[in-house]
Structure 1
Amino acid sequence: MLTNISKATTLYFTPVLMLTSLFLILFAYLAPVVMLHSQVSLLTVVPSSVLTQPGSNQIVDGPSMFVGMLGSCAKPNNSATLICTSPSISPVYNASVFTSNTPSSVLAAPPTVAPAFLATSLAFSMIFFIMFTGISFRHLMGKAGNVWENPMVQRASAWIGIGSFLVGLASFLIIRIYFGKAASDFNQSIQGQGANGPQLIADTSNAFTMVWVGYAFFAVPVVVSLAKLHVLATK
């Protein structure tokens, strides 16, 4: 029974985890300009009186901006419609909704190399998913499954998986540090203006949570692939 559970987990559950991981990372990469405009972002700037009036719970109406890897979406007040920039790996965020005393210059996009590396990592992650799924289900493909029996193919799949995992995770860690610093600088500048400062607050957002969960799922098929390599190497 334990053998059947182990086999079912490796062959059927692991590809599902990998597919879920791909969707989570892809959504975090494309949001908010392509999809999930106000639901998912890497950084948010929203109306708040917390920085200008410490301890206040007052509801504030004002401009908002949702920042992502490929651009940003913004609106001048809570009831307005979001206006998004065109998707680009070197985006210019739309800060026109803010007043002149808003330190929007610190909310610049990360270097172009970051989204480019992530796009490459995503592409190789998709290749890894296809290869990993083919290797897992090769016993159901008849003669077409013979190509997935080749140890070189299995070795290539494992290396593609570990490479895309490490590059993608490292890139998102760097971007998290970058946006964390931007949010901190933005909030310090608001606080420095005192009660006359704009009633706004910046913070990193839920796209990073999606990314961490996605890469936690991604780690499972990578470990399975490396375990298969270990078994092949010790035969």
Structure 2
Amino acid sequence: MLADLSKGVTLYFTPVLMLTALLLALFAYLAPTVMLHSQVALLTVTPSSSLTQPGSTQGVDGPSIFLGALGSCSRPNNAAGLVCMSPSISPVYDTSVFPSNAPSAVISAPPASAPAFIAVALVFSAIFFVTFTAISFRHFMGKAGAVWEKPMVQRVSAWLGIFSFLLGLASFLIVFMWFGKAVVDFNQSIQGQGSNGPQLVAQTGNAFTMVWVAYAFFAIPVIVSLAKLHVLATK
């Protein structure tokens, strides 16, 4: 029974984890310009008095901006609709909704190479998902499954997984550090203005949580692929 459970988890559950990881990373990459406009972002700047009036619980109305790897969505106040940029791997964020004393200059897009590398990693991740799933379900394919039995095919699939995992994770880490510094610089600039500063606060967004969960899931099929290579190498 334990052997059947282990086989089921390895063959059937890990492809589901890989699909979930791929979708989470894709959603985090496309948001907010393409989808999930106000729900998911890498960085958000929203109305708040927490920096200018610490301890205040008063609600604040003002501009908001939601930033992602491909662009941003913004609105001048809480009641207005979001206006989103056209997606681009080298976006120039629209910060025109901010007041003149807001430190808009620190809100800039990461180097274009980072979104480009993320896109490449997502493409290779999709290919790895297809090959990993085909290898897992090869016993259902009849004669066509013989292709996925070949050690070379399994070796290539494993290397695809390793490459896409490392490239994607490294690229997202670069973007995280970039936006993390922007958050610190933005908030410190507002705090430096005291009570005369704009009632805004910057925060890293929930898209990064999605990314970390995605790559935690992604690691499992990569480890399974490496384990298969280890078994093949010792035969």
Category of TM-score, reference length = shorter chain? over 0.9
Runs of 4+ in 1 over 3 A off after TM superposition: none
> Who is 1:107 aligned against?
107
What SS does structure 1 have at the residue aligned with 2:217? Answer: helix
1:227 counterpart = 2:196: no
Tell me the TM-score normalized by structure 1.
Answer: 0.99
What's the secondary structure of 2:201's corresponding residue?
A: strand
CA distance in 1, matches of 2:149, 2:19: 22
State the Cα deviation string for residues 141-165 of structure 1 (Å, max 9, x = none).
Answer: 0011111011000000000001100
Question: 1:181 corresponds to which residue?
Answer: 181
Residue type of the alignment partner of 1:73: C
Secondary structure of the structure 1 residue equivalent to 2:74: strand
CA RMSD of aligned residues (A): 0.5
Q: Deviations over 1:129-185 (max 9, x none)?
A: 000001000000001111101100000000000110011111111111110000000
Instruction: Give me the whole-angstrom Cα distance separating, in 2, the residues matched to 1:54 and 1:7.
Output: 55
Q: Does 1:204 align with 2:204?
A: yes
Q: How many matched pairs?
A: 235
CA shift for structure 1 position 94 = 1.0
- 1:14 and 1:50 map into 2 onto residues whose CA distance is 43
Q: What are the equivalent positions in structure 2 for 1:24-173 lying under 5 Å apart?
A: 24-173=24-173
Q: Which amino acid aligns with 2:220?
A: V
Aligned position for 1:193: 193
TM-superposed CA distance for 1:100, in Å, is 0.9
Give unmatched runs, 5+ long, in structure 2: none
Amino acid aligned to 1:181? K
Shift in Å at residue 25 of structure 1?
0.3
What residue ranges of structure 1 are gaps of 5+ in the alignment?
Answer: none
Letter of the 1:4 counterpart: D
Corresponding letter in the other structure for 1:77: N
Partner of 2:165, secondary structure, is helix
Q: Which residue of 1 aligns with 2:215?
A: 215
Q: Which whole-Å CA distance do the structure 2 matches of 1:53 and 1:95 have between them?
A: 23
TM-score, scaled to structure 2: 0.99
- Is the partner of 2:45 in helix, strand or coil? strand
Q: Which amino acid aligns with 2:9?
A: T
What secondary structure sits across from 1:91 in the alignment? coil
Alignment partners' CA distance in 1, 2:178 and 2:217: 24
**Cα distance in 2, alignment partners of residues 7 and 196 from structure 1:** 63
Identity %: 74
Cα separation, 1, equivalents of 2:206 and 2:135: 34
Q: How far did 1:57 drift? A: 1.0
Residue equivalent to 2:3: 3
